[in-house]
Amino acid sequence: MTEFTRRATLAAAGVALTAGCLSGAGDPADASTTTDGTPGSESTPGKTARLTETTTGDWIDHASNSPDPDHAITVDNDADEAKTLRVWVERDATGETVFDRTKTVEPGHEFTAYNLEDANPDGVEAFTVCGELVASDSTAGTLTTTPTERTTADAERRDCATVETSECYGRVHVTVQADGTPQIIYAIC
């Protein structure tokens, strides 16, 4: 692809992406065109649409401050052998453990372990989700450090992430990777 063609393609993609930043919300009385594209006036019947510009920053700010506690925490094992994984969730404001479960997960198996909605959060709250490899199901409760006291030695057997109960966050995945190490993956805007 020539330099000119690549630049033209990138410019066209940029225009296409920014087109999604316009919405039809607003006061119809302020509209300048009708929904069929003809100029609007008091004598023109029909619905009118007002195009307002919304920035990405505005959208993220709104989503970050809008409560949405429905965030499932799923567990899956991408390793070639069964792994025993402890998953726990702490409410950051109080340090309370709202979920703690240890389970052996077969290779290729995935299940929903918990949903932050079950913690009955008050608006937008922060929760720390952790996954730790352990020796067996019987070792629940043998954790010697808290999520905030993570050490370098823990890095190969534990991963933690803080998520919030806002519209900005999505599902949280606690995954045993192919190399046998745990990893927390989550969606955020």
pLDDT, tens only, 117-136: 999 999 999 999 999 999 86
Smallest CA-to-CA distance from 98 within 122, 82, 77, 64 is with 122
Confidence class for position 154, pLDDT limits 50, 70, 90: low
Per the model's pLDDT, the better-predicted residue between 152 and 181 turns out to be 181
**Which pLDDT score, from 0 to 100, does residue 53 have?**
63
Residue range 70-82: mean pLDDT, rounded? 97
Partner residues linked to 183 by β-bridges: 175
Regarding pTM above 0.95, the answer is no
Smallest CA-to-CA distance from 105 within 76, 147, 69 is with 76
pLDDT, tens only, 8-41: 433 333 433 333 333 333 333 433 333 344 444 4
Query: What gap in Å lies between CA 126 and CA 121, rounded to an integer?
Result: 9
Query: What gap in Å lies between CA 33 and CA 173, rounded to an integer?
Result: 46
- In the chain, which residues fall in CATH 2.60.40? 72-188
pLDDT, tens only, 173-188: 999 999 999 999 999 9
Domain spanning 72-188, CATH class: mainly beta
Confidence class for position 57, pLDDT limits 50, 70, 90: confident
**Which pLDDT score, from 0 to 100, does residue 108 have?**
96
